[in-house]
Structure 1
Amino acid sequence: MAPLVQSSQPWVEKYRPKQVKDVAQQDEVVRVLTNTLETSNCPHMLFYGPPGTGKTTTALAIAHQLFGPELYKSRVLELNASDDRGINVVRTKIKDFAAVAVGSGQRQGGYPCPPFKIIILDEADSMTEDAQNALRRTMETYSKVTRFFFICNYISRIIEPLASRCAKFRFKPLSEDIMITRVLHICQEEGLDLEPEVLSTLSSISQGDLRRAITYLQSAARLFGSSITSKDLISVSGVIPQEVVDSFFAACRSGNFDLANKEVNNVIAEGYPVSQMFSQVPCLLFYFCCSEFIMLVIEIWILIECCFQLFEIVVGADDISDEQKARICKKLGEADKRLVDGSDEYLQLLDVASSAMRAICNMQEEFS
């Protein structure tokens, strides 16, 4: 097929799956939602998980498969809560759409066309708490004629009264094999030729985010043509070169403040994003001081629930002293509060893991 590198259409949209069954690697979610499509019995839904794993794609696919192209515009309201996040939007736009009844469900053109509408709230974790509280009454009042699909990265930022009204679906990070398969398909369609090393690099820098991987690939194709190297991908991704991260971490381990200060100045002078450094340095830390505890905690995405479960484990442990339990529980309480306030889940989880390691290893810790 002729290369379409210069096409203006984003590849993320061009290659977005059109049906629920085509969503990659979310087998449990696809199985449940396929049954939902067959019965047309659709509850309020909450899709949560890392970015680029298929949450928005799944919500849009459900809506299209239920109503088809003719009724989609009149039956589905798409809102991005990052923009429409205030209470006024709930009181006007959402309430007005939800209140309008629709005709009885009759199949049209092969589509089920159930007797309700759908409101898709993307980035719902960006909504203010007042707006989320206002939604509770709207959901209850118009539940017979309107279903809500909430999409978020951090379920801890969705208030419990909303979350409890929804069927929850967790989207897992995509494996490297799945991502490479999808990327190879796009490369074939777009006439790109990538070496295996480039595919591995793309998978690494995208961190399970397929949308990010496709965006990097298209950006590199626009800048460098059909022949793309690992260096090209790193340059368009904004990822800090590994040698810079290694030097920074080595300076930290050396105990030499002047050397560490020099590396910090180098990072700032080169314009590397500090938040990106925060995400890359912990990978080195895990390499040097990995434990079963850390690996167990990393697999859990609902961090507020994780705090409760860890609390029960810590309190019930017989091989941990009361002083150690007190230190760990104090840190769990702090992390829980920060999560409610909207702190980054990854950094809070890392803080809990490192604090628990220090406590269990009888290392002294100063509390401010």
Structure 2
Amino acid sequence: MLWVDKYRPRTLDKITVHEEIARNLKKLVAEQDCPHLLFYGPSGAGKRTLVVALLKQIFGPGAEKVKMENKNWKIDTGSRTIELELTTLSSSHHVELNPSDAGFQDRYIVQEIIKEMAKNRPIDAKGRKGYKVLVLNEVDKLSREAQHSLRRTMEKYSASCRLILCCNSSSKVTEAVRSRCLNIRVSAPSEEQIVKVLEFISKKESLQLPPGLASRIASHSNRNLRRAVLSLETCRVQKYPFTDDQVIPPMDWEQYVSEIASDIMKEQSPKRLFQVRGKLYELLVNCIPPEIILKKLLSELLKKLDSELKHEVCHWAAYYEHRMRLGQKAIFHIEAFVAKFMSIYKGFLIATFG
């Protein structure tokens, strides 16, 4: 088992990074009227950990008995029947899923799943009617139509179904949905907090962790706790006993993006663009989010550029990121950015060196 999962706090009492949030969630549960919740914050901040601990606080150990299944949904839209397959993680008390995986048909998923859950209202040990919890991840990636559907179903089934929504940016969630939830901001942990977690894991694993290495891992993690723990585990596999000046290996996909950036800088041609497209496909099929690929690629290219080009390249990166969010095929927009960059850089080289 990866250390990220092995040492994830399972109860609100054991959460150390966001203690105040954990205390407030305990109070909510104690009042026995938990509202719809919206957790928002950067990746690796601890949103999922808080949700898992909250579910256990509400439902007890039963919330941990989860099963993963690929469910097929047949949805009658009136004019046609849509067939969709979606992966869900569920217990007898809750269901967790990523409705944005359904792409532009996400609104049908939102409507159908909540309806189905609301029909099967659970009864607790004392014979009272309880409620189920639906955990929706990446809500900021849902289409406008899906978010409007979500608002209506939140109102209609609030007695039998509570929603816990998770996202990186609340600004991409409609005001109508935000206003119907208790908004909880989960900030990125500080480097000092990350160091404490790394020291705790090292102690549990009977490892001697030099303070210098712990600080460098925390610094390299960009305040992403998940990434820091994975880096520590990678360092353990790579070399032990640890040393203060030990190299912290980059993520495989980051190394790959760096190679793509080098390829683009070496040659600007249709042939090279075709080769780059193949490498971009490789990243996408390995589930690296397209926004992350574009952001990292821009970062690597900017390291190699003259200052006079940086502003223009950043402008086009922002343009294609916006287009990517509006469209469906991410590869088109990343490739378009690469082609635009090649055109700009080729023009710059010709103007400079002739």
What's the TM-score once normalised by structure 1's chain length? 0.60
SS where residue 83 of structure 1 aligns?
helix
Contact 1:221 1:228 in 2 (8 A): no
Match of 2:38 among 14, 38, 46: 46
Partner of 2:206: 191
**What does residue 118 of structure 2 align with?**
98
Superposition deviation, residue 278 in structure 1: 4.6
CA contact (8 A) 1:122 1:151 kept: yes
1:234 partner SS: coil
Tell me the equivalent position of 1:148.
163
| 1:88 corresponds to which of 93, 104, 108 | 108
* 1:129, distance to aligned residue in structure 2 (A): 2.2
The Cα shift of 1:234 comes to 3.4
For residue 49 of structure 1, report the CA deviation from its aligned partner.
0.7
Structure 2 CA distance for aligned equivalents of residues 263 and 51 of structure 1 = 28
Distance in 1, matches of 2:190 and 2:300, equals 19
- Which one of 173, 191, 212 corresponds to residue 176 of structure 1? 191
| Aligned mate of 1:122, from 137, 160, 163 | 137
* Aligned residue pairs, count: 265
User: How far is 1:96 from its partner?
Assistant: 0.6
Matched, 1:232 2:247: yes
3-state secondary structure, aligned to 1:169 = strand
Is 1:33 matched with 2:25? Answer: yes
Deviations 1:121-167 (CA, angstroms, capped at 9, x unpaired) = 12222222222221112111110111000011011121211111100
Residue aligning to 1:15: 7
Distance between the aligned counterparts of 1:74 and 1:262, measured in 2?
A: 51
**Shift in alpha-carbon separation, 1:229–1:339, aligned structure 2, 3 A:** farther
Q: How far apart are 1:262 and its partner, in Å?
A: 12
1:134 maps to amino acid: S
Shift of 1:98: 2.8
How far residue 228 of structure 1 moved from its aligned partner, in angstroms, is 5.9
The alpha-carbon distance between structure 1 residues 195 and 50, as it changes in their structure 2 partners (threshold 3 A), is same
Larger % of strand: which?
Answer: 2
Q: CA deviation at 1:41?
A: 1.6
The question of whether the paired residues in 1 share the 8 Å contact of 2:12 and 2:54 is answered with yes
Q: Distance in 2 between matches of 1:20 and 1:157?
A: 28
Out of 23, 44, 65, the residue aligned to residue 57 of structure 2 is: 65
8 Å Cα contact 1:157-1:342 kept in structure 2 = no
Q: CA RMSD in A?
A: 4.1
Counterpart AA for 1:176: E
Aligned mates of 2:3, 2:162 — CA distance in 1: 30
Q: Which residue of 1 aligns with 2:149?
A: 134
* Cα 1:139/1:218, change in 2 over 3 Å: same
Q: In the alignment, residue 97 of structure 2 is paired with which amino acid?
A: L
How far apart, in 1, do the equivalents of 2:234 and 2:156 lie?
Answer: 46
Question: Shift of residue 12 of structure 1?
Answer: 1.0
| CA–CA separation in structure 2 for the residues paired with 1:137 and 1:10 | 39
The match for 1:276 is 296
The offset of 1:338, in angstroms, is 5.5
Write the distance in 2 (CA, Å) between the matches of 1:282 and 1:38.
Answer: 51
How far residue 187 of structure 1 moved from its aligned partner, in angstroms, is: 1.1
Partner-residue secondary structure (3-state), 2:233: helix
Cα distance in structure 2, aligned partners of 1:50 and 1:201: 20
Long gaps (5+) in structure 2: 65-90, 273-278, 280-292, 304-314, 328-354
Q: Which amino acid aligns with 1:76?
A: H
Contact 1:48-1:152 at 8 Å conserved across structures: yes
**By how many angstroms is 1:176 displaced?**
1.4
CA distance in 2: counterparts of 1:177 and 1:90, whole angstroms: 39
Kindly tell me: are residues 114 and 34 of structure 1, through their superposed partners in 2, closer, same or farther at Cα, counting changes over 3 Å?
Answer: farther
Q: How high is the TM-score relative to the length of structure 2?
A: 0.63
CA distance in 2, matches of 1:223, 1:95: 49
Alignment of 1:339-358 (within 5 A): none
Residue pair 2:42, 2:187 contacting (<8 A) in 1 also: yes
